[in-house]
């Protein structure tokens, strides 16, 4: 019983994701699809538009067999740490393959580039440092460093976001010496930053979220599987909102205004005097969008600033995050499974090196951060559902389908 692992956010699950799930099985011949999914706050530093439970159900209803949560300490992180965390979980589960979507679509390009980079890491780091000293953000500095390294030796374009993530997955597999075999699927139709729904039936998650938050849910119906659409509709009816930064801005603003700068400085990724800038802007901006426009500079990408905002609103300090990153995960949180997924878990019990647990049953820094992120994520729900959701979060059983 072979399994293919995928790393997902499903924010929300749409036809592009369905395409990838099917391709992953087809390319690898695996029977079982295991998804590592971010729970609350995502790689680009955004809250997931709906809860992990609804997104899990979407996945299970569209071909995924197991959904395992990617802990907070990996989920709201730059590509390298995000990929490392996700691969380490897939390795613990013992999947046979990895599949990821990319703009390249050719796994050889990734493998070659990882080999190349492993030989030139020091030079690369020096180029990045030098570029950052010139005032470039990390992604731009890294992108320029690739060019400076004469990457004409590879065809892989590292200005594409999914190629970058893919590179880090393949590199993590090499670094962690996993036996997972990486594969890639060419991303179809919609590009990541494309914000207009196409004529066709594949659209980017960004464009779909735009429809949701502008009260045009109906218009996203043709670009996602029917269960995804129904679950989105049901979520809005049940909780009266979608989770966006605008909904969290009152908490972020409150947190910034009630926290002295020397305390803000202890927050993860809050570096280089950023605390003053963030705090001052919170006195002026009425909305998250205005606040971001006040704080952004050439040096900080939108994504980086959103991640700092995430760590501020979850009150995650440098000390806590470093402790979590230096601690090996001691459990897997299973969010959901199909019957086939359950059969796979039973058959591979001995291969698995970590127990499946609910956070309520586990101690340690990682679950502490999980609980906090989950509570903060739920804090914006209407009062009649908020506390009830918080109460059951850490003890909730996986969804079975």
- Asked if residue 75 binds a second copy (CB under 8 A), the reply is no
Q: Report cis status (omega within 30 of 0) of the bond before 12.
A: yes
Question: What one-character DSSP code corresponds to residue 244?
Answer: -
Residues 9-48 that bind a second copy (CB under 8 A): none
Q: Which stretch binds a second copy (CB under 8 A): 56-64, 106-114, 161-169, 281-289?
A: 281-289
Closer residue to a second copy in complex, CB, 348/375 = 375
- # of chain residues touching a second copy (CB under 8 A): 30
In the complex, least distance from residue 209 CB atom to a second copy, rounded to whole angstroms: 21
Tell me the sheet residues that pair with 182: 98
Alpha carbon 58 to its chain centroid, in Å, reads 16
In whole angstroms, give the CA distance from residue 229 to residue 218: 8
Q: Which tokens sit at 65?
A: 């067999």
Query: Which of 143, 185, 259, 303 is the binder for a second copy (CB under 8 A)?
Result: 259
- Asked if residue 253 binds a second copy (CB under 8 A), the reply is yes
Closer residue to a second copy in complex, CB, 135/250 = 250
Q: Which residues of 369-388 are buried (b: 16+ CB within 10 A; e: fewer)?
A: bbbbbbbbbbebbeeeeeee
3-state DSSP call for residue 32? strand
Determine if residue 15 is labeled as part of a ligand binding site.
yes
Q: Which stretch binds a second copy (CB under 8 A): 22-30, 120-128, 257-265, 353-361?
A: 257-265
Closer residue to a second copy in complex, CB, 136/249 = 249
No. of helices (H) and no. of strands (E), the chain: 18, 7
Residues 353-372 that bind a second copy (CB under 8 A): 368, 372
In the complex, least distance from residue 373 CB atom to a second copy, rounded to whole angstroms: 9
Binding mask 310-349 for a second copy (x = CB under 8 A): ---xxx----------------------------------
Alpha helices in 134-285 (DSSP H): 138-148, 161-175, 205-213, 226-239, 245-257, 261-264, 274-282
In the complex, least distance from residue 372 CB atom to a second copy, rounded to whole angstroms: 6
In the complex, least distance from residue 323 CB atom to a second copy, rounded to whole angstroms: 12
Query: Which of 387, 395, 397, 400 is the binder for a second copy (CB under 8 A)?
Result: 387
Determine if residue 14 is labeled as part of a ligand binding site.
yes
How many Cβ atoms sit within 10 Å of the Cβ of residue 255? Answer: 21
Residues 127-156 that bind a second copy (CB under 8 A): none
Binding mask 211-250 for a second copy (x = CB under 8 A): --------------------------------------xx
In whole angstroms, give the CA distance from residue 194 to residue 191: 5
- Cα end-to-end distance, the chain, whole Å: 19
Q: Which residues of 130-162 are buried (b: 16+ CB within 10 A; e: fewer)?
A: ebbeeebbbbbbbbbbbeebebeebebebebbb
Query: Which of 122, 152, 214, 258 is the binder for a second copy (CB under 8 A)?
Result: 258
Q: Between vectors from CA 321 to CA 320 and to CA 325, what angle results, nearest 5°? A: 120
Closer residue to a second copy in complex, CB, 145/313 = 313
Q: Which stretch binds a second copy (CB under 8 A): 1-9, 129-137, 217-225, 309-317?
A: 309-317
Determine if residue 8 is labeled as part of a ligand binding site.
yes
Query: Which of 88, 236, 238, 375 is the binder for a second copy (CB under 8 A)?
Result: 375
Determine if residue 19 is labeled as part of a ligand binding site.
yes
In the complex, least distance from residue 386 CB atom to a second copy, rounded to whole angstroms: 7
Q: Are 174 and 110 in contact (CB under 8 A)?
A: no
DSSP 185-222: EEPPSS-TT--S--SSS---HHHHHHHHHTT-GGGGGG
Determine if residue 315 is labeled as part of a ligand binding site.
no
Report the binding-site residues. Answer: 7-20, 101, 162, 187
Contact footprint for a second copy (CB under 8 A)? 249-251, 253-255, 257-260, 283-287, 313-315, 368, 372, 375-376, 379, 383-384, 386-388, 390-391
Report the binding-site residues for ATP. Answer: 7-20, 101, 162, 187
């Amino acid at each position: 019983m072979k399994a293919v692992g995928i790393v997902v956010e499903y924010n929300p699950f749409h036809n592009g994701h369905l395409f990838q799930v099917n391709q992953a099985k087809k390319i690898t011949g695996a029977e079982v699809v295991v998804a590592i999914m971010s729970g609350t706050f995502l790689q680009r530093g955004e809250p997931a538009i709906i809860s992990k439970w609804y997104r899990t159900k979407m996945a299970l209803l569209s071909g995924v067999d197991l959904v395992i949560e990617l802990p907070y300490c990996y989920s709201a992180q730059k590509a390298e740490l995000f990929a490392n965390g996700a691969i380490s979980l897939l390795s613990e589960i013992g999947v046979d393959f990895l599949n990821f979507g990319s703009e390249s679509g050719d796994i050889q390009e990734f493998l070659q580039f990882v080999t190349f980079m492993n030989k030139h890491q020091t030079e690369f780091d020096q180029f990045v440092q030098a570029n950052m000293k010139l005032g470039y953000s990390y992604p731009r500095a890294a992108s320029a460093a690739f060019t400076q390294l004469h990457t004409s030796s590879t065809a892989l374009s590292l200005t594409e976001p999914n190629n970058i993530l893919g590179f880090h997955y393949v590199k993590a597999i090499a670094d962690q010496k996993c036996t997972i075999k990486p594969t890639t699927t060419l991303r179809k139709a919609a590009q990541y930053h494309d914000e207009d729904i196409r004529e066709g039936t594949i659209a980017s998650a960004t464009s779909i979220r735009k429809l949701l938050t502008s009260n045009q849910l109906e218009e996203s119906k043709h670009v996602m599987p029917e269960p995804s659409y129904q679950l989105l509709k049901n979520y809005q009816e049940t909780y009266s909102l979608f989770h966006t930064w605008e909904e969290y801005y009152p908490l972020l603003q409150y947190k910034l205004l009630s926290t002295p700068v020397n305390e803000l400085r202890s927050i993860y990724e809050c570096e280089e005097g950023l605390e003053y800038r963030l705090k001052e802007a919170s006195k002026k901006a009425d909305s998250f969008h205005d606040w971001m426009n006040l704080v952004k500079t050439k040096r900080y990408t939108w994504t980086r600033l959103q991640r700092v905002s995430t760590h501020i609103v979850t009150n995650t300090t440098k000390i806590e995050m470093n402790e979590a990153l230096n601690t090996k995960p001691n459990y897997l949180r299973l969010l959901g499974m199909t019957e086939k997924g359950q059969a796979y878990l039973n058959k591979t019990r001995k291969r698995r090196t970590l127990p499946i647990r609910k956070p309520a049953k586990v101690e340690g820094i990682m679950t502490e951060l999980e609980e906090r992120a989950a509570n903060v994520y739920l804090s914006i729900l209407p009062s009649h559902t908020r506390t009830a959701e918080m109460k059951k979060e850490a003890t909730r059983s996986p969804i079975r389908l």
